[in-house]
Amino acid sequence: MRIGLFGGTFNPIHLGHLKAAKRVKAHFALDTVVFIPSALPPHKDPINICKPKDRLEMVRLAIAGYQGLSLSDSELKRAGYSYTIDTVCSLKNEYDDDDQLFLLMGLDAFLEIQTWKSYADLFRLIASIVMLRPGVGGADFNQMQTLVDQYLTSIISPRYRYSVEKKCFTHAKLQPVSLYDVAPLDISATAVREQLKRRQSIASLVPPQVAEYIQRKGLYQ
Ligand code: ATP
């Protein structure tokens, strides 16, 4: 099986996340994309983050009915900060040896990866798929490719090279890094929370069942 791991705070999950996951799943012929909400993200201010149980439930509601999108509560079962390296190691043990795993992330997340715990090990363990995101590092695919090239070769390893044939950055010893222009939606969880604070509609930003959950639970007021 080809499995995409899509970690995030999902505070809350929005249509940008869903579109990105569906497009990447189709383009890279993944069997499933697993959403993995973090319990305690190391890089975000915990004050603005609602309970992990609520964020998990919103992801569950958002993906209900979509074949090939699934949910893992693995980070919620661990105490302390949710580090991607720990999640990847534990999920690698759960899946079969011949399953292929891919780590999905937006360009904004990728360009901060040097701040992640044991980030160098991630490039040994798992292939990455980096998705274009509006407002981050230029608007088009070529700019994204240049940015990722510079980042990979200066921060991770000078031996990463773009392969036109394979359409990804390859390395003799490390895992490949693919890029994908998902024709992304310019939506962020920050924008969803701001709309809610202003008491404006979030109907165009999140699935209706997520909007209903937020309203029923009085989240982000
Ligand atoms: P916030 O605004 O609170 O920082 P966010 O919208 O960036 O949140 P996260 O849960 O932090 O959402 O994102 C999880 C992952 O999804 C990250 O890798 C991020 O880059 C990616 N992502 C988020 N929104 C989009 C989008 N609109 N298009 C593509 N990728 C996205």
CA 137 to ligand 1 centroid distance, Å: 14
Provide block-wise average pLDDT over 10 residues at a time, the chain (221 residues).
97 97 97 96 85 97 96 92 94 93 95 95 97 77 90 97 93 97 88 96 98 97 87
Fold entry, domain 2-187: Rossmann fold (3.40.50)
**Whole-angstrom distance, CA of residue 181 vs CA of residue 200:** 30
Q: Are 20 and 129 in contact (CB under 8 A)?
A: no
**Pocket residues for ligand 1 (CB within 6 Å)?**
8-11, 16-17, 20, 105-106, 108-109, 131, 133, 184-185, 187-190
Q: How many whole angstroms from 84 Cα to the centroid of ligand 1?
A: 15
Q: Tell the residue number behind the tokens 């499933």, with chain if given.
A: 32
Which atom of ligand 1 lies at the shortest distance from residue 15's CA? 27
Q: Look at residue 138 in the predicted model and tell me its pLDDT.
A: 66
Q: Report CA(172)–ligand 1 centroid distance (Å).
A: 30
CA angle 143, 145, 151 (to 5 degrees): 105
| Mutation pick for ligand 1 pocket among 10, 102, 179, 188 (CB with most ligand atoms within 8 Å) | 188
Residue 13 CA to ligand 1 centre (angstroms): 9
Segments making up each domain of the chain, as ranges:
2-187
Q: Parallel, antiparallel, or unpaired for β 168-170 and 161-163?
A: antiparallel
